[in-house]
Amino acid sequence: MALLTMREALNAALKEEMTRDPNVFILGEEVGAYQGAYKVTQGLLAQFGEWRVRDTPIAEEAIAGVAVGAAFIGLRPIAEMMTFNFSLLALDMIVNHAAKYRYMSGGQIRCPMVMRGPSGAATQVAAQHSQGFESWYAHIPGLVVVMPSTPKDAKGLLKSAIRDDNPVIFMENEILYNLKGEVPEEEFHIPLGLGDIKREGKDITIVAWSRSVITSLAAAKTLAEQGVEAEVVDPRTLRPLDEDIIFDSVRKTGRCVVVEEGWRYAGFGGEIADRVQRECFDSLDAPVIRVTAADVPMPYAKILEKAYLPQPERVVEAAHQVLYR
Amino acid sequence: MDRNQAMALYRQMLLIRRFEERCAQLYVEGKIGGFLHLYIGQEAVGVGAISQMRPDDYLIAYYRDHGYALARGADPRLLLAELCGKSTGISRGKGGSMHFYDVPAGNFGGDGIVGGHLPLAAGMGYGIRLRGTDQVCLCFFGDGAVNEGAFHEALNVSALWDLPVVYIIENNRYGMGTSIDRASSVKDLYTRASAYGVPRRDVNGMDILAVRSALGEAIERARKEKRPTLIEAETYRYRGHSMSDPGKYRTKEEVESMMKSDPILLFGRRLMEQERFTQADLDAIDKDVMAQMEDAVTFTEQSPDPTPESLYEDVYVRSPYIHLKTAEKDPAWRAAIREDRVPTQLPPWKPVTPASPGPAPAAQPAEAAASAGKVK
């Protein structure tokens, strides 16, 4: 095991997969000479050259579209979005093209690409630069949506995402780039669609992904001090969803809280709550409670930003609610 | 151009014309649904351009896409079956009129979003450069697409990175019902290439030989110099934007005057003037094309509807990187776990009445060709 940051783990996955397969290339804003806006692509240009590490103009539709077109003829592009906030300018390329050509062509076309970059809230960058869009992408049939929460998961899942023949939306998190964790030194990958128990517990199930896992683990620590053992379940992939790992946990605990950084309204947590109430109805001792971002655009002021985001205290509060404490 | 090649081009244009006329009938009969955008009047652009492609080149086009598939050699039986939503359709009944794909022929087909496929064409060009082959990509779109942001982003990166893509504007003068005058600040659309330092050319899109000449030059530039070109082919669609459009935004006189320079009529007349073809030759081609269309109709009528299970097929590619237990619980993934299906294979069409082989005597008035240009 090596102790790596999320950033280093992602960089290692990119390097290994680009070395392994000459069809893999990366393109995006500042990925080359600048070494990546968040330094995830550091060192790649020197190693692989400009045709495989392509600096692009600020033109998200072209970045995503070039990736889709190249994928159609057998390459394995990785389109970096400087942040997923800007991916809205590329949404047509993903939703109407990457996700649909296979179906519309009756299975003739495949689109083995990855669109990756940081998503979710950053720090004091206000409404246009601090938002989570996983619910939007998870809504689209034809896509795979991945949101890792640890360096090990990030590396193992990115390697699978690059090798997979389907379009994968790989959402990282700016706040987590410096998070350190153990990463196996030997070759490994983590299957897409496989969840993970981040903390075992018998009293309550907390489902969370990406940065919300960190929030939930902090809440679980507080709950443990209060005598409540929370199980933190991280699906890691939102589409396809490993529902079994969630159901098994809820059947054991009988109580479920879903934590997400996205908005409550039509958010992905609603999908999980729906499946849990349908499949685990007889096991539930309380309604499923969701902890989400406030249903407003992200504010700038630090104090408002904190109020907007799910905090460990709010997760603890929700746990108390489902425990009727 | 030798005689056989000339005949093949004439036949392809006529096949497209007859195919589209038959589609219009089937649409009225309720056998074809959804949107149906006919290519009638624009045949010389697709046929002329595609005739300059190599078998390993790529093409990607917009939703008025029947002509490209036919010109690239797709079987009209599979195309008509697609239009009628049959399981034997080229896209297995999942795409319809706007989504004819024929990947073995390098045809990435029919995009339904105006301008949406232009960045994809740049991506195919990028892939070609990365692999280091001398293939090229042709990208067809209408005059409406030049006002989309995607057009500008695609042209910029194509010039910036030297991508072997030929962008072809099929200027039929109307983006749905809005004329160019009301949509573009610049009337000569090809001049927009100047903004990106892209070589440009405008060409009479009703003249197949002019189209061939322009494309020959552009494809050569892409293949040898790895540079993109923007071509504006000035053409005209005789029918409305789609079947639901009565075309009230233009006059009968305008349509009739454009039909005088019908691409099939012009080419047929030229073939006869050069005394290589007789009226009988052209009639024989038409007869053969009509027979091929009737055969396609029969094939379609006898084709089965898609099975209910096929609803979930073709969403995902089978993958060893997906957790199997999760995949098995999701209908679309479950379908992907099964083997890829083999596309429908059909024997090629055998002409019923081959045209006469040698140089022919003096030309006759081009009545057959004239009737080919008529809108029924």
User: B133 and B127 in contact (C-beta within 8 Å)?
Assistant: no
The last residue of one of the domains, among A157, A183, A209, is A183
Query: Which residue's structure tokens are 């073939």?
Result: B271
Residue A44, number of CB atoms within 10 A of its CB = 21
Q: Is residue B312 part of a domain?
A: no
Residue A133 and residue A241 in one domain: no
Pair of tokens at residue B56: 């390993």
Q: What pLDDT score was predicted for residue B376?
A: 31
DSSP SS3 for B85: coil
3-state helix, strand, coil in chain B (%, to 5): 45, 10, 40
Residue A239 and residue A132 in one domain: no
Name the minimum distance, in Å, from the CA of A191 to any CA of chain B: 5
d(C-alpha A284, C-alpha A147), whole Å: 27
Given an 8 Å threshold on Cβ–Cβ distance, is B119 in contact with A241?
no
The last residue of one of the domains, among A183, A206, A237, is A183
Q: Is residue B322 part of a domain?
A: no
Q: Is residue B329 part of a domain?
A: no
Residue A128 and residue A44 in one domain: yes
Q: What pLDDT score was predicted for residue B325?
A: 95
Structurally, chain B folds into a number of domains equal to 1
d(C-alpha B315, C-alpha A141), whole Å: 7
Listed residue (B228, B248, B146, B128) closest to B187, CA to CA: B146
Given an 8 Å threshold on Cβ–Cβ distance, is B326 in contact with A194?
yes
Given an 8 Å threshold on Cβ–Cβ distance, is A59 in contact with B101?
no
Task: Look up the CATH number of the domain holding residue B278.
Answer: 3.40.50.970
Q: What pLDDT score was predicted for residue B361?
A: 44
Q: Is residue A265 part of a domain?
A: yes
d(C-alpha A54, C-alpha B161), whole Å: 10
Residue A90 and residue A52 in one domain: yes
Q: Is residue A190 part of a domain?
A: no
Q: What pLDDT score was predicted for residue B374?
A: 38
pLDDT band, residue B355 (cuts 50/70/90):
low
Q: Where are the beta strands (DSSP E) in A73-113?
A: 76-80
Three-state secondary structure along B91-141? Answer: CCCCCCCCCCCEHHHCEEEEECCCCCCHHHHHHHHHHHHHHCCCCCEEEEE
Residue A19 and residue A49 in one domain: yes
Q: Is residue A168 part of a domain?
A: yes
One-letter identity of residue B310: S
Write the residue in A97, A144, A244 that is nearest to B120 by C-beta. Answer: A97
Q: What pLDDT score was predicted for residue B351?
A: 79
Given an 8 Å threshold on Cβ–Cβ distance, is A74 in contact with B128?
no
One-letter identity of residue B115: G
Pick the more confident residue, B147 or B246: B147
Residue A201 and residue A178 in one domain: no
Q: Is residue B281 part of a domain?
A: yes
Listed residue (B295, B143, B127, B149) closest to B230, CA to CA: B143
User: B203 and B197 in contact (C-beta within 8 Å)?
Assistant: no
d(C-alpha B355, C-alpha A181), whole Å: 75
Given an 8 Å threshold on Cβ–Cβ distance, is B123 in contact with A102?
no
Residue A173 and residue A49 in one domain: yes
What's the rounded mean pLDDT across residues B37-54? Answer: 97
pLDDT digit string, tens, across residues B273-316: 987 899 999 999 999 999 999 999 999 999 999 999 999 999 99
Alpha helices, H only, chain A: 6-20, 44-48, 60-72, 91-92, 101-104, 134-138, 151-163, 211-225, 243-253, 268-279, 302-308, 312-323
Query: Which residue's structure tokens are 């029924």?
Result: B376
Burial of A1 (0-12, 13-18, 19+ CB in 10 A): exposed
Given an 8 Å threshold on Cβ–Cβ distance, is B123 in contact with A72?
yes
Task: Look up the CATH number of the domain holding residue A48.
Answer: 3.40.50.970
Q: Is residue A90 part of a domain?
A: yes
Statement: residue B205 has pLDDT above 50: yes
Active site residues of A: 60, 129
Residue A16 and residue A138 in one domain: yes
Share of chain B above pLDDT 70, in %: 92
Pick the more confident residue, A325 or B365: A325
Q: Which residues of chain A fall below pLDDT 50?
A: none
User: B81 and B300 in contact (C-beta within 8 Å)?
Assistant: yes
Closest chain A residue by Cα to residue B334: A240
Q: What pLDDT score was predicted for residue B347?
A: 86
Q: What pLDDT score was predicted for residue B354?
A: 54
Given an 8 Å threshold on Cβ–Cβ distance, is B314 in contact with A107?
yes
Quick one: which H or E segment has residue A262?
strand A256-263
User: From the candidates B153, B226, B334, which should be mutated to test the interface with A, based on the most A CB atoms within 10 A?
Assistant: B153
d(C-alpha B221, C-alpha A105), whole Å: 31
d(C-alpha A75, C-alpha B127), whole Å: 6
Q: Is residue A188 part of a domain?
A: no
Chain A residue numbers touching B313 (CB-CB < 8 A): 107
Closest chain B residue by Cα to residue A112: B317
The last residue of one of the domains, among A183, A218, A241, is A183
Q: What pLDDT score was predicted for residue A186?
A: 97
Q: Which residues does B16 contact at the CB level (< 8 Å), separation at least 6?
A: B39, B43, B46, B47, B66, B67, B70, B71
Listed residue (B40, B70, B6) closest to B282, CA to CA: B6
d(C-alpha B98, C-alpha A105), whole Å: 11
Closest chain A residue by Cα to residue B89: A106
Residue A232 and residue A119 in one domain: no
Q: Which domain holds residue B367?
A: 3-302+346-372
User: A167 and A144 in contact (C-beta within 8 Å)?
Assistant: yes
ipTM: 0.96
Q: Which domain holds residue A268?
A: 196-323
Q: Which of B71-84 are b and which e, b meaning 16 or more Cβ less than 10 Å from the residue's Cβ?
A: bbebbbbbbbbbbb
Closest chain B residue by Cα to residue A243: B326
Q: Is B346 left (phi over 0), alpha (psi -120 to 50) or beta?
A: beta
Pair of tokens at residue A311: 């905090």
Q: What pLDDT score was predicted for residue B356?
A: 56
Closest chain A residue by Cα to residue B118: A65
List C-alpha distances in Å: B41 to A268, B206, B233, B259, B290.
Answer: 49, 8, 12, 8, 18
Chain B residue numbers touching A160 (CB-CB < 8 A): 321
Write the residue in B154, B313, B330 that is nearest to A62 by C-beta. Answer: B154
DSSP SS3 for B368: helix
Name the minimum distance, in Å, from the CA of B85 to any CA of chain A: 12
Statement: residue B360 has pLDDT above 70: no
Q: Is residue A118 part of a domain?
A: yes
Averaged pLDDT of chain B? 92
Listed residue (A61, A80, A105, A70) closest to A11, CA to CA: A80
Residue A84 and residue A226 in one domain: no
Task: Look up the CATH number of the domain holding residue A249.
Answer: 3.40.50.920
Q: Which residues does A49 contact at the CB level (< 8 Å), separation at least 6?
A: none
Q: Which residues does B151 contact at the CB level (< 8 Å), separation at least 6?
A: B115, B118, B141, B145, B192
Q: Is residue A189 part of a domain?
A: no
Chain A residue numbers touching B321 (CB-CB < 8 A): 160-161, 163-164, 189, 191-192
Query: Which residue's structure tokens are 């080919």?
Result: B372
pLDDT digit string, tens, across residues A5-43: 999 999 999 999 999 999 999 999 999 999 999 999 999
Q: Which residues does B308 contact at the CB level (< 8 Å), separation at least 6?
A: none
Residue A163 and residue A305 in one domain: no
**B57 DSSP β-pair partners:** none
Residue A161 and residue A233 in one domain: no
d(C-alpha B57, C-alpha B52), whole Å: 10
Structurally, chain A folds into a number of domains equal to 2
Q: Is residue A38 part of a domain?
A: yes
Statement: residue B60 has pLDDT above 80: yes
d(C-alpha B94, C-alpha B102), whole Å: 13
Chain A residue numbers touching B125 (CB-CB < 8 A): 69
Q: What pLDDT score was predicted for residue B44?
A: 98
Write the residue in B116, B124, B326 that is nearest to A193 by C-beta. Answer: B326
Chain B residue numbers touching A243 (CB-CB < 8 A): 326, 329
Question: What are the backbone angles phi and psi of residue B81, rounded to the nearest 5°?
Answer: -60, -35
The CA-based angle B160-B163-B166, given to 5 degrees, is: 115
Write the residue in A69, A142, A161 that is nearest to B120 by C-beta. Answer: A69
Query: Which residue's structure tokens are 């509060």?
Result: A317
DSSP SS3 for B201: strand
**A223 DSSP β-pair partners:** none
DSSP state of A81: P
